Structure 1
Amino acid sequence: MKQILKTILLPLFLITALSLNNCATIFSGTSQDVEINAKPQGTTIIILGGTIGKIIRYGAKIQSFIDIFSEYLDEEDKKVLERYSFESLITAVILEVRGVVPVERSMSQEVAKVLAKIPRSYKVKVLNTFGMEEFALAPVKTELKTSGGYAVIGYMSGKKIVVKEINTRLNWTILWNVLNGFILLPIDVLTGAYKKLTPLELDMELNEPGEKLSDYQAQGPNQKILILVN
């Protein structure tokens, strides 16, 4: 009897854990609908997965940026870049590649001179290869694969960028909390699968003023959201 109860209750515990952490989950799927809202109106949303997303999510290191573009940088260039955050530099590159804001407007002149040495074609290749998922004005509705986490950057001219995280790993602290407050979630009686919840929502608010991207100092993502268990 105990074994039967464990078999029935454990999956429900897992699902509840996800729901309490502002998440949506499907155990039978490989993707999740995500809706990102931001203030002020007109905020640009950048979603990064892959290598670039991981660098930001696990504590962005400026050395990673330097390593990615090292073949075009000399020692003096590297010293210049070391004074800035990975998030601000990769955002500057993305805005330039997308034709939104030239680097000389988003960063200091010394950084603009260094980044100008890197061919645009190589910048595009890096973004396409290492994790550019989405670039659009908020609100953004998209579908993300559940095979990895994502970093989300909110950009607005005159404001400091905001960096948040969408994660796919189970947070065992959340699970433990659930075990002390059990709540049942709906199950599809026809398929036995847990119902897909409404699209995961992520809200961003850019409040702090900042004339340049370089005003942002690396702090890591300031909000983690669990989507689903792989």
Structure 2
Amino acid sequence: MREGIRTILQAQGDLDVVGQAGTGEEALAVVRRTRPDVVCMDVEMPGMGGLEATRRLVADPDVDARILVLTTFEREDYLLAALRAGASGFLLKNSRPEQLADGIRAVAAGEALLSPEVTRAVIERAVAAERTTASAPREVGSPSSALPSALSPQALVVPLTERELEVLRLVARGLSNEEIAAELVVGRATVKTHVSNLLAKLGLRDRVQAVAYAFRAGLAD
């Protein structure tokens, strides 16, 4: 499977596969040696799994790679765990070759959600299920609060401006920067600034975590 993915990506021209790994332990070593921009991480592997490997890579200050998790739609628990671990994107294992390539580019750019309809639906169900067993609330805006406990929209008004709150709602709908710009009748650069600001204020890593945050806060439609 890895060789097949490598062949697909190498044929793209703008993507270069710098390493492969069959276990989480191997992934840590390869990433630290080759320093890629994006890591395609399977969840289930022999030895250390992909979720633990993701946690360790995201926590490593010397690693700048974004993690694209290859997941199965039915496993909401995997997706939620990957969010907590710091993954930047999700893609179904049966995605078409062009979707995988586009997904890697999107994660590298840090802009668009991958498979927004699927990601949004799974996050919604996962968050709803987790609310029944939620632990004590985390501090809003702390770096570890990528998936905060139940919040109210009012709790977000304090750190966010009205426009940033509006942008967050649109991000949660799966809209790209271009689509948000059209919706709000502003420039794409303006939207990008708002997204960057709200991520920084809320202590979130990227747009995927922003979607999860919005669902937990009851801001998503």
Normalized against structure 2, the TM-score is what? 0.24
Query: RCO greater where, 1 or 2, for CA within 8 Å and sep 6 or more?
Result: 1
For normalisation by structure 1, the TM-score amounts to 0.23
Highest Rg: 1 or 2?
A: 1
